[in-house]
Structure 1
Amino acid sequence: MPELLIDIPSTFVERIERLAAEENESLEDMAMLLLRRGYDFAVTRPEVEPDRSQRPGARSDARLDWWREARFGLFIHWGLYSVPAGVWKGRDWPGIAEWLMYRAEIPVQEYEKLAAQFNPVKFDAKAWVSLAKRAGQKYLVITSKHHDGFCLFDSAVTDYDMVDATPFKRDVLKELAEACAAQGIKLGFYYSQTQDWHHPDGDGNDWDFDPAEKDFAGYIEDYVKPHVRELLTNYGPIGIIWFDTPKGISEEQSRSLLALCNELQPDCLVCGRLGNALGDYATAGDNRIPEEVLDLDWETPATINDSWSYKINDHNWKSSVDLIRKLVDIVSKGGNYLLNVGPTGEGVIPQPNVERLEAMGRWLEVNGEAVYGTQPGPIQGRADLRTTSKEGVIYLHVFDWPADGQIRVEGVAAQGARLLAGGAALPVEVSSGALVISVPEEAPDEAATVIALR
């Protein structure tokens, strides 16, 4: 059997040792058992977990109409973790960079010192929002507070924030709110309501704080809710509150957070990671795309490389072709695509992100009518194409261009067909019960060529 060496934090080893002793197992056997259970859990998890699903009645809620129309949004992961960028004390830590504090079990007092180094002098809210607009994205969600507990906004609840703890001393969320309003982009705030590795009563940090002594209910009431109140009071109209990792949060706590959001801004949507199946729309797992159409309003949050926040050694960039096809795949099944960038500690969105988003924007300039405001099309389950529909038009998004110059689709009737790229009409006929569309020898678009059927 091949050997695999894994570097495990000492506190986690201690927990495995205690569990092994309780179960009368060796440390090696217990580690293998946990690894197998973790693997089984990972591969059997549904794309949309039940506790992150859509609340009853939301499917017909008109407050979601703008979001259903939008289909494509920009996610931004930015915070103190953007400074070390995945490297701590000379070591390039594996995994996503915004989890560095957790993976390296960095003590709060050490991690806090990053605030003095966080001085993003190149931050330009107008430029960030302009990029989203050029990409064809209709809404923007940014990490107001991630699991490390640091707040990007000026808070009266804590001094562990952008204005009070960093040399930058600017409320970047206020600047983004102004830029979004000026450029017609809906603004949303990600907020980690359960995990907070800085707060002694938040979930997750067991290397500084004893879990048995945590007052999680007090944390929700006295820390999370005042933060949510600030976010929904001080920054104008907010489109979305994007909660995350609802582990351990009770249904009562989820309901009370939903009620608070509804009280402060009735039109603000709350995503499925509120927990306990109470979100206004469902949230799929990270980078997860369902295999088929779901009878839900749902969204896939996804990365352009591997890490969500900036990671200096992560160069595993997805191609623009891949990203466009993922957008099409998601929309063809009734979902939204929330695609992420991770700016640097200086406030710069890396150029590979910019290039790919701009390429997606150019594709959407031509093919946007087949994406925005569409519903799943009638043809599902084919590898070579996807379909969307809107106002009596069926859109074929062709991935694999036919070598024989003909696309055959069954179960669809149409009088005519046209390419969205250039608008040329295409001959159609019915043969052996299938609609046959004659197409040019070369595909007009490498990523996805769209044909409108009417």
Structure 2
Amino acid sequence: MSTSIVQAREERTRWFRDARFGMFIHWGLYAIPARGEWVRGIERMSAEQYTAYFDEFDPADYDPVSWAKAAKQAGMKYAVLTAKHHDGFCLFDSQLTNFTSVHTRAGRDLVKEFVEAFRAEGLRVGLYYSLIDWHHEDYPAYGDAYHPMRDNEAFQRTEEQFERYLEYMHGQVRELLTGYGKLDIMWFDFSYGDMSGEKWRATELVRMIRELQPHIVIDNRLERNNEHQSSIYTEHPAEFSGDFASPEQIIPPSGVTDNQGAPIPWEACITLNNNWGYAPADRAHKSAKTVIRKLVECVSKNGNLLLNIGPDAKGRIPQWSLDVLEQVGDWLRLNGDSIYGCGQAKRSKPDWGRYTQKGNKLYAHLFEQEIGAILLQNLEGKIKHARLLADGSELVLSRPWNAAMFPDDAFVNFASPTVFTYALPDERDTVLELELIEETDQPAG
């Protein structure tokens, strides 16, 4: 069983491992208080207090067509929207609750508009669904680790109530999988404590998902990291282990592998500031340079980057976020061949940056300026052509007079004399395309 699970995972994630770059969108009622998506839980708001945001939710400027165009311009290949976050508010027209966007002043099925707009731009679509629900009256409250009423004894829950919640949760997942056409990703969040694995009736849930949409890619958050002997991190994953690992706000130092060292599909989900939801007071904005280099780092380790944006209460993506996305897209239009369909090169990380690879094309990502010619370790006699990827211009391969002590290393530079030091054409990341004469090394993931 587990061997077939891994084989099916490899087939399902083929497009995912080629795409490499996606947009995460955290949006909901929490955009109104604008203190992050966990605001109800952190501030222990009552249902009555939080309902005030439901009553005033009216994103008059919500235009998913413009969102989709921004994602495509940024070079993203897929997008994931929070259909329901921990607060239980649904951006879709659920028949199982009235706590949805359709019953607000918006009066709209916002998920429906999202999937239609992003598909129209040729982007794959995914939906985030929180396993946690602070609005549902049957979800564990008193004594829970995160529920707003975790310290209020009046909110005791029984096992019978939790079973009713699971019927609700499974029912909403079915609604998403049957009401919006083909979805590419089902992004669950998250397991904790004993709320994990079969506590969610996870095998039953995944079997329903596979029956309805067998092609869909699922993250690994129905289980806790390294929780089971049969997890995504083992060579014998469970059915509910998912198709890809999902490190959050961190890029693993060596990528992600199972306990036998075999690569696992993975995706680092990263915010553009320090919050997932809209938080205008958070001005710790990541630069386009940082995003570009972190995308390259993910790909160099066989991973994807899922970059989050948090629209405001009116439905607008903040202008500073759009500016960063535009700059990243400008770089990708010139250098995308070094990202899409690429993976880890079977070479050690160079001092000046990173490598990515696709077939016999080795891409050198220069983050730091070298003194004199650029040293390409152990590549002497192995390079057929060297070009600047951004414009296709030929680069000069040479054996500088001062390189006699490095007989196995190749040297390249932007002009002659090759012993001179030249400024990097793009200080964010200058990419060299090295076509190798003979290369048996293939990207590992």
Q: Does the CA-based 8 Å contact 1:75-1:142 persist in structure 2?
A: yes
| CA deviation after TM superposition for structure 1 residue 407, in Å | 3.0
Residue number among 205, 221, 236 corresponding to 1:273 in the alignment: 221
Q: Tell me by how many angstroms 1:384 deviates.
A: 2.3
Residues 160, 328 of structure 1: alpha-carbon distance in 2 compared, 3 angstrom cutoff: same
Partner of residue 447, structure 1: 428
Q: 1:404 to 1:175 in 2, by over 3 A?
A: same
| Cα displacement string for residues 222-270 of structure 1 (whole angstroms, at most 9, x for unaligned residues) | 2111100110111111000100111212337221221111111111111
Mapped pair 1:246 → 2:208: no
Change over 3 Å in CA distance of 1:250–1:281 after alignment to 2: closer
1:257 aligns with 2:205: yes
- Aligned-partner Cα distance in 2 for 1:410–1:181: 44
Q: Does the 8 Å contact 2:9/2:243 carry over to 1?
A: no
> What letter matches 2:328 in structure 1?
M
**Which residue of structure 1 lines up, in the alignment, with residue 391 of structure 2?**
422
* 1:230 counterpart (148, 172, 175): 175
SS of the equivalent of 1:436 reads: strand
Q: In structure 1, how many angstroms separate the alpha carbons of the residues matched to 2:219 and 2:7?
A: 11
Distance in 2 (alpha carbons) for counterparts of 1:376 and 1:257: 33
2:315 aligned residue: 347
Residue identity in the other structure for 1:434: D
Q: Is it true that 1:436 corresponds to 2:384 in the alignment?
A: no
Q: If the length of structure 1 is used for normalisation, what is the TM-score? A: 0.82
TM-score, normalised via structure 2 length: 0.83
Partner of 2:48: 109
Consecutive unaligned residues of structure 1, counting only runs of 5 or more, are 1-53, 87-96
What letter matches 1:268 in structure 2?
I
CA–CA distance in structure 1, aligned partners of residues 250 and 4 of structure 2: 20
Q: Unaligned regions of 5+ residues in structure 2, if any?
A: 141-145, 225-230, 232-239, 257-262, 400-405, 416-421, 436-445
Asked if the contact 2:139/2:162 (under 8 Å) is kept, the reply is no
Residue among 162, 170, 179 paired with 2:117: 179
What amino acid maps onto 1:354 in structure 2? L
Contact 1:407–1:438 (Cα < 8 Å) also in 2: no
Say whether the 8 Å CA contact 1:138–1:185 is kept in structure 2: yes
Percentage of matched positions with identical amino acids? 36
Q: Is the 8 A contact 1:293 1:376 kept in 2?
A: no
1:296 match: 264
Which stretch of structure 1 is more off in the superposition, 377-386 or 304-313?
A: 377-386
Which residue number in structure 1 is paired with residue 16 of structure 2?
67
Residue pair 1:271, 1:280 contacting (<8 A) in 2 also: yes
Matched, 1:123 2:56: no
User: Which of 65, 82, 88 does residue 143 from structure 1 map onto?
Assistant: 82
What is the 5 A alignment of 1:13-24?
Answer: none
Q: How big is the shift at 1:380?
A: 3.2
Greater per-residue helix proportion: 1
Looking at structure 1, the residues matched to 160 and 350 of structure 2 have their Cα atoms a distance apart, in angstroms, of: 51
Equivalent in the alignment of 2:402: none
Letter in 1 for 2:49: E
Correspondence for 1:133 among 69, 72, 75? 72
